[in-house]
Structure 1
Amino acid sequence: MTTQQISPPEAEGRAGSAERGRLARLFLGRPEEPRWVRPALWAILVAAGVLYGWGMSASGYANSYYSAAVKSGSQSWSSFFFGSLDTGNFITVDKPPMSLWAQELFARVFGFGSFSLLFPEVLMGVAAVALLYTTVRRAFGYPAALIAAGVLTLTPITVAINRDNNPDTLLVLLLVAAAWAAQKAIESGRLRWLLASAFFVGCGFNTKMLQAFLVVPALALAYLIAARAGVVRRIVHLLAAGAVMAVSSFWWMVVVDLIPASSRPFIGGSTDGTVWDLVIGYNGLGRIFGENNGPGGGRGGPGGGGGFGGTSGAGRMFNDILGGQISWLLPFAAIALVAGLVLLWKRPRVDLARAGLLIWGGWLAVHFVVFSFAEGTFHPYYSTAMGPAIAALTGAGAVLLYGAYRRSAVWAVVLPAAVAITGVWAFMLLNRTPDWNPWLRWVVVAATVLAVAALVAGRLVRGGGRAVTVAGLALAVLAGLAGPGAYAASAASSTTNGTNPLAGPSTGMGFGGPGGMPGGGSRRGGFPGGFPGGGAPPGGMPQGMERGQMPGGGQGEMPKGQTPGGQSQGGQRSGGMGGGPGGEASQAMISYLEKHRNGAQWLLAVSSAQQASSIIISTGQPVIAMGGFTGSDPAMTVAKLQQYVKEGKLHYVMVSGQGGGFGPDRGNSEVSEWVRKNGTLVQPSEYGGSSSSSSSSGSGAQLYYLR
């Protein structure tokens, strides 16, 4: 027997044909796909890219707290690894560094700016939509997958957060990837896919710590019930996946905590400088119980529990703050989950559709309970993690309920009832801000009434029933997506508040509220222009505030490209938050410090990360945030400061002009007092400042020289 020889030109031709085949499948779909599916999917993905990326440069540096760390990580590999706020590695941000790494790599290639900060978020947001489509398609088919992808694309809080540089966009992508891999493991019975799912969850932990674990019960339960393997083998597989998840979750924490404290930065947000304390405290029990276990917003804190998400309880996801961000399709998703489980209950144990309901239903249930009853600081944008589950259940439920509607007279009432409930809830949400697009809620009412009528008639009218039913389904989609679509478009057409991104109109202001002005104004700000008077609150941030947050859940409206502290991208002073707790650092002061740095490792030490971040962004120089984000982290001590001064690593310290410490609890007052006692006050006239800012009784900052 002879082997057929293929000439090089023929081989190249076949390779080119295969490549064209792959491209055709990518853009036109597989041969078995209906011709309309792939164009519809591409339309959704393009819409997602436009919503997430349109005008993103207007957001400037977005959340400057994380942006400063990105700039430092793009300049120093050690800062990259630790997630340090400054290249001197004094203190880290209060999250693991994985969410920063993509932005830092982009910044190393394209330079630091809005593009490197926000374009990775756009890519990750679109990828999450595509991956959700793929996951839902395998379990429920093409129509369900397209509906799910469209719903996730238009989820208001998802649009808002995907236009920002907070960690949640990457977290959602990783968790959707975990669900995708877990479903493949259930379908195939292969361990490698379950291990991949565990790995993605571990990466999620290194993005936002314990929040990533909220999907684990759903994934584990679905695999234990539905995977194609014996019960003992399934248990062994889950144990192996648990080991992979532990390693992929804790490797960074273990490595960092094993490094001597003197050789690494203080871990921001912790009480003892360790990642372990950050995991179980500030980013762990503190989020659940509040009070003394973490950031404020517990009982008696701002907002009556949960800070900026409103009072904790079963109704939190539907309140004035969160309702318009995430709850539009929550009722439909809940109905779809219950009805779907009933419809599929008698299917074989390994049925993939029922397993899909377990995955997405468990995901939604756990998140709903934890988010609703968490008494620690809770920002509305955390709820974006519920978006994929709501979207998947909406798509799956629409298909399952429609199938039951066509087959059974008993089930024929469920789909119209679900549409009616969804429309009524959408009207109630829109009616909370009657001055914002007032016509929209009446469009929703009309579409809902006509949709329900058409669906009822579709079961009664002979001959023309199919056309009537299709019209009813189209109207149901309009009724369900008009409200969130309008909110999503609002988020895409306005400047994002980097610290507390929200979509749609404001429904109020004050502690526990979303910020913005009453009467349908923008949600982008708390107090217009910053705190009253243009400065920071006396003595630091109120308990429960985090990452540049202003009372009311917003941040003072900034001119385009401006960072907290009143520094614009061009380095010019203007209004704003006044530099955060402890006062301001003007451009004149920064120029003076750069001129008189004299080889010091750090340009300046300031009270908090809010002050430091604006200087780091504008200068690219390392700045010490002595008290971390809020000013209350015990990162700086008198002994450490004395050592830095003695070794010539630091010459200048800026402290509050109010005579107290630099944290809201005055926990670091001894450091401020030591600076005042042993430092030389630099008169503002030396760097072009106002003499009134040096008054010890005033609210301005005081610059001290230490030698």
Structure 2
Amino acid sequence: MLRGREGDPIWARPALAILLVVAALLYGWGLGASGWANSFYSAAAQAGSTSWKAWFFGSFDAANFITVDKTPGALWVAGLSVRLFGLNPWSILVPQALEGVATVALLYAVVRRWFGPGAALLSGAVLATTPVATLMFRYNNPDALLMLALVAGAYAIVRAVEDARSGWLVLAGACVGFGFLTKMLQALLVLPAFALTYLMFAPTPVGRRVRQLLLGGAAMVASAGWWVAIVELTPARLRPYVGGSTDDNVLQLALGYNGFGRLTGNEIAGFDGRRLGFDGPGWGRMFDATTGGQIAWLLPAALVLCVAGFVLAGRSAAAPTQAGRWRAAYVLWSGWLVVTALVLSLMHGIFHPYYTLALAPAVAALAGMGVHTLWRLRCDRAGSRLLAAVVAGTAAWSWVLLDRSAAFQPWLRAVVVVTGLLAAAALAWSARPARHDRRSTAVLPALAAAAALVAVLAGPAAYSLQTVAAPRSGPLVSAGPVMPGIRGGRGGGIDGPWPDVGIRGGGRTTGAISMARLLADRAPDPRVRALLTRDAGAYTWVVATIGSRGAATYQLATGRPAMAVGGFSGTDPTPTLAQFQRDVAAKRIHYFIADPFARVLAGTRPSDSARIADWVQHNYPATTTDGVTIYDLSR
């Protein structure tokens, strides 16, 4: 028999087990259907599984020409998985699913400490069914490991606030530092919430709190800085080029392309969401047509509940110590939510809807904590009416989100609204003076609570199930059903007309090509694969192509290194034309493939990649196989 902690109700541990099994099914069911998912990171995992040097530096290719444009934390996990279980979609994607289940379990543990198992289960259920969480915990982007690290940091902060022990702050700093090694400066968005919570609520003098926070900051710098220091101190000739940087410098990558460049829009590389049709920055970005269905289902409710819970904590808590801890939790998670939401909403640089996974733990925690606080005041008119208003408002907002994909389960909108309004009415009525026997007055709130759960979770759960049912692949993915407007990767949740773009590939115009077709990963034709693997052992790179998209598919298909000229989007200043010519003369590169998609990303400005493509086109004969233009550099 499953047993929970002392004092827990008998249902607590079995309910947690069910929650984790449901999360495992959501994140793990049918993973193989997505193939390589994001082939960019899959290729890097393949490289790391065959070269420890590539594994350590996060190289895109086993020949260590260039790294991916992120720190390698997530690739360390994926590379080890591929080493253990071989190269296949499951070995690459299962780690993300396990990280997702662990994140749900950790969030449960955080909320459980101060609010009990009921609130913790609700928080876990909200996180598990958030569409963007279902998407990214099934996908091999770094975001899954980042969320696990940051929620672990939140757990450490909660423990530190309880007894002011420095060790927990050191652990929190180390978790954020590892988050930096996973996705750079995005990990630091939680720091204001962590620091403010400890400064306000730790049971120790203010001076000691400051010293302890400095110690936690030192732990963060050390846990992230050791890898940065090794990269910076290693001579450039002995390591791969730092992808995404303009000067082969990991600090420039962290502060530029993956840092302040995201805020200002002054990136050198990567997808420009506005060129691809996404909405620009603004206060409503988290609620707009392309982002709302990913994260916003309970976002308005979370904002209301964090304010109400903080204000009403004293009335709802059983003791002053408990009330103080509850307020600390509201500061922690509301700070996480507000800072992250503001940055994502107002950033002028690259933005993808799946970035909103960073909000999911905070939304889930505030939902569980806030409902718990108001539920304890359900016999009070103000508490019950506020809870009823939150349920009714969330159901109405779910109608709006579901209506944006009107063809998707059209009956669901009516069910959600009707159930939500009935549940809200029952919650408000339950606060009236009892006119019936005790059993009837106990049954009504329980039925109302069950109906409220159905109303607020049915929409995001339906989007999550659709995400599980439709395979995803490519660099641009979204959760849920097809939306009018913009297309994501294969199986993505946004669709619509793309502008046709005239593209030059290898010096010749290929004509107007559908952006949607270009974004989808496409395995090379068997004839192309057979050509690339011919005499592959005699060359360092079997093929070179501008950008990582094509290089990733060729590398995964052949199992041999492919050179991504110019890095991720073909804009990195490596190799120079002279360096490329030396590699060709030394017989280190066998073929060159002209990829028109890379010219879309790079734009029209001159670059080393463009000069290389033009040089190859003017000096080597071209053949076409399955619509792919191939240049044999050995001739």
User: TM-score under structure 1 normalisation?
Assistant: 0.82
Amino acid at match of 2:523: G
> In structure 1, what is the equivalent of residue 607 of structure 2?
667
Please list every run of 5 or more consecutive structure 2 residues that lacks an aligned counterpart in the other structure.
Answer: 507-513
SS at match of 1:538: strand
Q: Distance in 2 between matches of 1:657 and 1:336?
A: 49
2:47 to 72, 79, 84: 72
Listed as ranges, the matches of 1:163-178 within 5 Å are: 163-178=138-153
Aligned-residue CA RMSD (Å):
2.8
Q: Give yes or no for the alignment of 1:378 onto 2:347.
A: no
Greater shift in the superposed pair: 442-451 or 638-647: 638-647
1:462 to 435, 447, 460: 435
Q: Distance in 2 between matches of 1:213 and 1:551?
A: 34
Q: Distance in 2 between matches of 1:479 and 1:657?
A: 47
Q: Distance in 1 between matches of 2:220 and 2:503?
A: 44
> In structure 2, what is the equivalent of residue 322 of structure 1?
291
SS at match of 2:589: coil
Amino acid at match of 2:441: G
> In structure 2, what is the equivalent of residue 86 of structure 1?
61
1:681 to 616, 621, 629: 621
Listed as ranges, the matches of 1:98-109 within 5 Å are: 98-109=73-84
Distance 1:213 1:377, change over 3 A: same
Q: CA deviation at 1:266?
A: 1.3
Q: CA deviation at 1:486?
A: 0.7
1:311 to 275, 280, 295: 280
1:645 to 574, 577, 584: 584
Q: CA deviation at 1:627?
A: 1.4
> In structure 1, what is the equivalent of residue 510 of structure 2?
none
Q: Distance in 1 between matches of 2:595 and 2:476?
A: 26
Amino acid at match of 1:471: L
SS at match of 1:28: coil
Distance 1:615 1:351, change over 3 A: same
Distance 1:226 1:704, change over 3 A: same
Distance 1:115 1:537, change over 3 A: farther
SS at match of 2:430: helix
Indicate conservation of the 8 Å contact 2:123/2:367, yes or no: yes
Greater shift in the superposed pair: 645-654 or 195-204: 645-654
> In structure 2, what is the equivalent of residue 566 of structure 1?
523
Distance 1:657 1:141, change over 3 A: closer
Q: Give yes or no for the alignment of 1:403 onto 2:376.
A: yes
Distance 1:656 1:493, change over 3 A: closer
Amino acid at match of 1:671: I
1:131 to 95, 98, 106: 106
Q: Distance in 1 between matches of 2:28 and 2:552?
A: 24
> How many residues are aligned here?
619
Distance 1:239 1:640, change over 3 A: same
Q: Give yes or no for the alignment of 1:440 onto 2:412.
A: yes
> In structure 1, what is the equivalent of residue 339 of structure 2?
366
Q: Distance in 2 between matches of 1:38 and 1:255?
A: 45
1:334-359 CA-partner distances (Å, limit 9, x unpaired): 11100111113694599222111111
Q: CA deviation at 1:102?
A: 1.1
Listed as ranges, the matches of 1:416-565 within 5 Å are: 416-460=388-432, 461-463=434-436, 464-510=440-486, 514=488, 523=492, 538-539=503-504, 551=515, 564-565=521-522
Q: Distance in 1 between matches of 2:188 and 2:164?
A: 22
> In structure 2, what is the equivalent of residue 701 of structure 1?
629
Q: Give yes or no for the alignment of 1:150 onto 2:125.
A: yes
Q: CA deviation at 1:194?
A: 0.7
Q: CA deviation at 1:481?
A: 0.6
Q: Distance in 1 between matches of 2:474 and 2:581?
A: 36
Amino acid at match of 1:30: R
Q: CA deviation at 1:680?
A: 3.4
Amino acid at match of 2:615: W
Indicate conservation of the 8 Å contact 2:64/2:240, yes or no: yes
Q: Give yes or no for the alignment of 1:343 onto 2:312.
A: yes
Distance 1:439 1:682, change over 3 A: closer
Listed as ranges, the matches of 1:110-125 within 5 Å are: 110-125=85-100
> In structure 1, what is the equivalent of residue 211 of structure 2?
236
> In structure 1, what is the equivalent of residue 5 of structure 2?
30
Q: Distance in 1 between matches of 2:419 and 2:529?
A: 58
> In structure 1, what is the equivalent of residue 179 of structure 2?
204
Indicate conservation of the 8 Å contact 1:273/1:635, yes or no: no
Amino acid at match of 1:504: G
Amino acid at match of 1:119: V
SS at match of 1:302: coil
Indicate conservation of the 8 Å contact 1:405/1:414, yes or no: no
Q: CA deviation at 1:164?
A: 0.9
Q: Distance in 1 between matches of 2:269 and 2:550?
A: 22
Q: Distance in 2 between matches of 1:214 and 1:498?
A: 27
Q: Alignment identity in percent? A: 40
Q: CA deviation at 1:246?
A: 1.1
Q: Distance in 1 between matches of 2:78 and 2:264?
A: 32
SS at match of 1:503: coil
Q: Distance in 2 between matches of 1:434 and 1:599?
A: 56
Please list every run of 5 or more consecutive structure 1 residues that lacks an aligned counterpart in the other structure.
Answer: 1-23, 517-521, 542-549, 558-563, 568-572, 574-586, 694-699
Q: CA deviation at 1:249?
A: 1.9
Distance 1:171 1:147, change over 3 A: same
Q: Distance in 2 between matches of 1:188 and 1:220?
A: 16
Q: Distance in 2 between matches of 1:255 and 1:123?
A: 30
SS at match of 1:605: strand
Distance 1:198 1:375, change over 3 A: same
1:514-556 CA-partner distances (Å, limit 9, x unpaired): 578xxxxx6357589x997xxx961479xxxxxxxx957x975
1:157-177 CA-partner distances (Å, limit 9, x unpaired): 100111111111111111100
Q: Distance in 2 between matches of 1:657 and 1:194?
A: 50
Q: CA deviation at 1:639?
A: 2.3
Amino acid at match of 2:606: R
Distance 1:619 1:608, change over 3 A: same
Indicate conservation of the 8 Å contact 1:65/1:610, yes or no: yes
SS at match of 2:211: helix
Greater shift in the superposed pair: 462-471 or 40-49: 462-471
Q: CA deviation at 1:675?
A: 3.1
Distance 1:283 1:32, change over 3 A: same
SS at match of 2:592: strand
Greater shift in the superposed pair: 453-462 or 288-297: 288-297
Distance 1:525 1:531, change over 3 A: farther
Distance 1:204 1:198, change over 3 A: same
Amino acid at match of 2:104: V
Indicate conservation of the 8 Å contact 2:154/2:172, yes or no: yes
Q: Distance in 2 between matches of 1:88 and 1:167?
A: 22
Q: Distance in 1 between matches of 2:323 and 2:218?
A: 25
Q: Distance in 2 between matches of 1:336 and 1:418?
A: 8
Q: Distance in 2 between matches of 1:655 and 1:437?
A: 43
User: TM-score under structure 2 normalisation?
Assistant: 0.91
Indicate conservation of the 8 Å contact 2:584/2:633, yes or no: no
1:60-116 CA-partner distances (Å, limit 9, x unpaired): 111111101111110010010111111110111111111011111111111110111
Q: Distance in 1 between matches of 2:235 and 2:272?
A: 33
